[in-house]
Structure 1
Amino acid sequence: MWLGVLGVCIFAITLPMTRLATGTAASPQLSPWFVTFGRAALAGALSLVFLLATRSRLPTPAQRKPLGIALLGNALGYPLLLGFALRHVSSGHAAVITALLPLTTAAVAAWVLHQRARLGFWLCAGLGSALVVVFSLSRAYQPGHGFGLEWADVLLLGAVLAASMGYVYGAQVTHALGAERVICWICVMALPISLPGALLTWPAHSVHTTAWLGLLYVGVFSMWAGFFAWYRGMAMGGALKVSQTQLLQPFLSILAAVPLLGEPLEWGTLGFALAVIATVFIGKRFSTPTPVSSRASKESV
């Protein structure tokens, strides 16, 4: 459980650190393209060292397809969409939208793995989505806000879907390759894209040191080390039990943004986050039918 909490803490700081790296629309720093490619390249270099040191075998042709889809979702799609969105919304705002991630992951698992979820799960999924839409609209029509926030929320929802696809397809090969090797092979397979991409999008203007520190964090911890703690914790304690620690992530993201970004602690944002997490908590109870095999339970999460 403590390894699970550690992984969630690492992932929670991804939102404020990504905003530090990209900056805002008024004060841009590193481009979202460079942050996406740069963090994947950093993680890829570390992964290559790990795989060589552990003499890991190459993935089989059958394993490369799910790894490739996980690459598109976790290494490219999620960070790119998140980076563009965080130029227009606060880290706390993004935390509310991304709070749907556990529920969407279960929904994608039900679709991809052909698992039937209970009606209660879909009702909770619909309620959680409705809460996110209400939150988005309420923020978009506040004074000083406009269409940019609505578009940013679409990007955030796309990021959530991309991450969910990556998690599910990565889970398909975790039992064969091992948790650590799954994320390592994803990052290494991304190197032919991430390394040239980082060089081509290298910033032509000077940026703040904090932006580089944000990039370093999301590359070393969010994209790589965090998965070591997260997957290892689930392997030791059981996916169904340890995954409940993910409910802490939105609140940790909101709290971390206060000292890191100077964002105000808005009670309305905390209230919506609490409501969304409540639907996730209840929905996860209905995410798989009973009885269900142990392996299916792990894959659905």
Structure 2
Amino acid sequence: MRDKSSAIHGRSESVGLVFGFVGIVIFSLSLPATREAVEAFGAWTVGFGRAVLAAACAAGVLAITRTPGPDRQHLKSLLIIGAGVIVGFPLFTGLALETSTASRGAIVIGVLPAATALVATLRHGERPSWQFWLAACGGLATVVIFSIATGANGRPELADVFFVLAVASAAVGYAEGAVLTKEIGGWHTISWALIVALPLTLPVATVSLAMHGVDQPEFSNWAGLAYVSLFSMYLGFFAWYAGLDIGGVARVSQIQLLQPMLTLIWAALLLDEAITVAGVTTAGLVLAFVAASRRSSIVRPAASSDAITDRHAPSVR
């Protein structure tokens, strides 16, 4: 019986990691796309405007699938998710990218896996082993050293502060989203979070657009805004929240350590940003900690064996 349970648990983690990897591939383009969009529309317009456009997509999906509204008991979680991944992360990364590069942001945001695991421990009831925390702290220390060593005059930059605030926002939103996903499903979670946040995101985006205006956007600027709205703000969460639910928050969150390397590649290809020796070395070390964390044990709360259900895919009713 124990062997069967272990096999099911192992398969669930593997499937969760696959979903998580798909989500991270999508998210790895977020910083380069955000930088392109911010150049023409400004951080506040992009930060809140992407949420408005994503909410329009979510409303369409919810209408087509005739999905009933969330229960009142879920409202608190939806507000936390909205504050974290719909408002906080997009806004702070946008503000940071007004003065910093996507390459630097990719490395600083490498602390997100450790932050997400910490929130999961407090909120989600998971208990990672000391080996896991050693690997997570190793990745964190690597990123901190990089930030200090490459900052102006050997100090972190103001943009790094915004990146850290973005990390904190995302960690809370990711962990809370994983909790709610277990109850209503991943795509329901991000869809309703976008709708719930609309009374804030719509007026702020409108005012910001009116005040900032549009600085002669080119195709790349429009493409960046479209990407962060449709993929980074919406579709990416379909896979990401499903992965966190199926594979466990602490375990799957460590896939995020792959994101710096992927973002460095995208930034070089799309933005012509230089790939420095320090950046590659840091990303490589962070990647090594992924393997270390993958081999460590994590005690997850008891859950039913049928972890994969139709909660993770929209269906027309």
User: Fold conserved (TM > 0.5)?
Assistant: yes
Say whether the 8 Å CA contact 2:106–2:260 is kept in structure 1: yes
Displacement of 1:185 = 0.4
Equivalent residue in structure 2 for 1:208, among 217, 225, 244: 217
Aligned pairs for 1:1-301 (under 5 A) are 4-23=20-39, 29-141=40-152, 150-202=157-209, 203-209=212-218, 210-232=220-242, 238-239=247-248, 245-283=255-293, 285-286=295-296, 288-289=298-299, 293-294=302-303
The CA RMSD measured in Å over matched residues stands at 2.6
> Structure 2 CA distance, aligned partners of 1:169 and 1:4?
16
Displacement of 1:243 = 5.9
> Structure 2 CA distance, aligned partners of 1:228 and 1:116?
25
Say whether the 8 Å CA contact 2:28–2:263 is kept in structure 1: yes
Q: How many aligned residue pairs are there?
A: 286
Q: Higher mean Cα deviation, 246-255 or 38-47?
A: 246-255
Change (3 A) 1:206 1:92: closer
Once the two structures are superposed, what CA deviation does each residue of 1:37-77 show, in whole Å capped at 9, x if it has no partner?
A: 10000000010111111111211121111111010000000
Displacement of 1:85 = 1.0
> Structure 2 CA distance, aligned partners of 1:242 and 1:121?
12
> Structure 2 CA distance, aligned partners of 1:155 and 1:139?
16
SS, match of residue 82 in structure 1: helix
Say whether the 8 Å CA contact 2:116–2:253 is kept in structure 1: no
Say whether the 8 Å CA contact 1:100–1:280 is kept in structure 2: no
Say whether the 8 Å CA contact 2:132–2:296 is kept in structure 1: yes
Say whether the 8 Å CA contact 2:255–2:290 is kept in structure 1: no
Change (3 A) 1:120 1:153: same
Say whether the 8 Å CA contact 1:247–1:281 is kept in structure 2: no
Query: What amino acid maps onto 2:189 in structure 1?
Result: V
| TM superposition score normalised by structure 2 | 0.81
Once the two structures are superposed, what CA deviation does each residue of 1:207-258 show, in whole Å capped at 9, x if it has no partner?
A: 32222221111001100112223345667x7458866654432211110111
Unaligned runs of 5+ in 1: 24-28
| TM superposition score normalised by structure 1 | 0.85
Say whether the 8 Å CA contact 1:95–1:250 is kept in structure 2: yes
Once the two structures are superposed, what CA deviation does each residue of 1:190-222 show, in whole Å capped at 9, x if it has no partner?
A: 111111111101132423222222111100110
Once the two structures are superposed, what CA deviation does each residue of 1:170-194 show, in whole Å capped at 9, x if it has no partner?
A: 1111122111111100111111111
> Structure 2 CA distance, aligned partners of 1:113 and 1:179?
16
